[in-house]
Structure formats: C-alpha cells, structure tokens
Amino acid sequence: MALRELKVCLLGDTGVGKSSIVCRFVEDSFDPNIIPTIGASFMTKTVQYQNELHKYLIWDTAGQERFRALAPMYYRGSAAAIIVYDITKEDSFQKLKNWVKELRQHGPPNIVVAIAGNKCDLSDSREVSEKDAKDYADSIHAIFVETSAKNAININEVFIEISQQIPVLDAAGGASTKGFKLRHQPSESRTRTCC
C-alpha cells in the first residue's frame, strides 16, 4: 500500500482549541485544563484512505501573538491548513479571515484550506452562526465543519475531507518516485500475461 506523507498545520487564535483537536485526532483524548501551546508541537498519525496510507505530519502552532512571526515556517510546504475558530467568540472568526488572507498571499499555491468552528458543544453561547461561516468558507472554496474536540464531533471528518481534496497521486507529475514504482509494477505484469 502506498504511503503518502501529508503536512498539515493548524492555525488560529489562541484558546480556540487547536491542540485539543489534534489531541482528539491523534490520541482520542481530551484535557479540559490544557495549557497554551508554546511555540509549536509536532505529531504524526497514519490512517488508511482508500487504497493508500496517509501519514499526517501535523504542526500544531501556538496561537499567541508573540509566535505569529513563526507561522510561515509551518504553513510553508504544507499540503493543508486547518484554520480553527471558536464559535463562541466572534473575534476568533475575524482573526481567521486574516489567516486566510495571509495563506492566500504567502502560503503554498495549492494548499487545501479547512475551516473548523470548534466548541460546537457550547452552542448556547454561540456568537458565530453556522450559516455565516459556511457562506464564508464557500466563498473561499474551503472545507467547512463545526467540530467539538470535547465530544469528538467531526474531528476525524476534517482529516478525511482533507485526504479527499488532496490531488491524487497517480495524476501526471507530482508523484514521488516511490509511489510511481508501486503503481507501475502491476501494469507491467498485466502486459506480460497479455502476451
């Protein structure tokens, strides 16, 4: 089975739940008293997608302003970016728009953008309506989901959708030599049986 490495980075304001999303995805755990990330944290998880193995190389970045200047280091070369906001904080949604702008200007050209409205378990104190966010996501052709790291809602789905949107490997070019070889061999054997 082909193994593909996908670099994914999480961006967004401080306290929106980036680390909680990663923690839920990678370890399926949740810590309500999580401490703000310092710098960035790197984790990996491999999942099967169709007939490929996708190894996510996840950069969970710190949302605080003092780490802002480091962000390009993480989104540079990323296949996908998950931009997270907190549905109970309008301000975090506005900050998200800045991230989108920055990615459009300085990010890799084909980066897949996913927008995650986290903390959807707290819909009582919702400040950002699902429709507004969805409309915005559509306008920039981004994946959109509302998630809850706490209740494990839509966390795996975000990553599955990213896998779906990543260009397929055997499309001409872009494929690594390793992937090429693995694909090439069966067709060779088929030719032989034909003859």
Partner 1 sequence: MAGDVHNKGVSWEVQQNGTLAPVDRLREDRSESPTPGLVEGTEPGAGQKSAMFVHSQSFEDLTADSEVSTETHPEGDCALGEAGEEALCLAAKEKIQIELQPEVEEEVRPESRSKEEDVGSEVWRSRRKHVFVLSEAGKPIYTRYGTEEALSSTMGVMMALVSVVEADKNIIRSIHADGYKVVFLRKSPLVLVGVSRTCQSDRQLSRELQYIYYQIVSLLTLTQLNHIFQHKQNYDLRRLLAGSEHLTDNLLRLLDRDPGLLLSAVTCLPLASSTRDIVSSSLQAAKAKNLVFSILLAGDRLVTLLRKKDQSLHHMDLHLLFNLVGSSSSFREGEGWTPICLPKFNTAGFFHAHISYLEPASDLCLILVSTDREDFFNLSDCKSRFLERLNRRNAYQALKEALKCPSYSTAQVGIPELRHFLYKSKSSGLYTSPELPLPYQSEEEQERLMGLYQHLHSRLHHSTRPLRSIYQCGETENLIAWVTSGFELYLCFSPLGTKAQAVAAVVKLLKWIRKEEDRLFVLNPLTY
Q: Please state the closest distance from residue 67 (CB atom) to partner 1, in A.
A: 8
Cα four-point dihedral sign 19, 21, 25, 27: positive
CB 23 within 8 A of CB 30: yes
Position 138 contacts partner 1 (CB under 8 A): no
Task: Return d(Cα 21, Cα 184) in angstroms, integer.
Answer: 37
Applying CB under 8 A, among 3, 5, 34, 151 the residue interacting with partner 1 is: 34
Applying CB under 8 A, among 5, 28, 31, 170 the residue interacting with partner 1 is: 31
Position 77 contacts partner 1 (CB under 8 A): no
Among residues 30 and 49, whose Cβ is nearest to partner 1? 30
Task: Return d(Cα 31, Cα 168) in angstroms, integer.
Answer: 35
Cβ neighbourhood burial of 130 (10 Å; 0-12, 13-18, 19+): middle
Applying CB under 8 A, among 38, 172, 194, 195 the residue interacting with partner 1 is: 38
Q: Which residue has the tokens 């260009």?
A: 167
Span from 22-30, 82-90, 152-160, 179-187 in contact with partner 1 (CB under 8 A): 22-30
Residues that bind partner 1 (CB under 8 A): 14, 19, 22-23, 26-27, 31, 34-43, 58, 60, 62-67, 69-70, 73
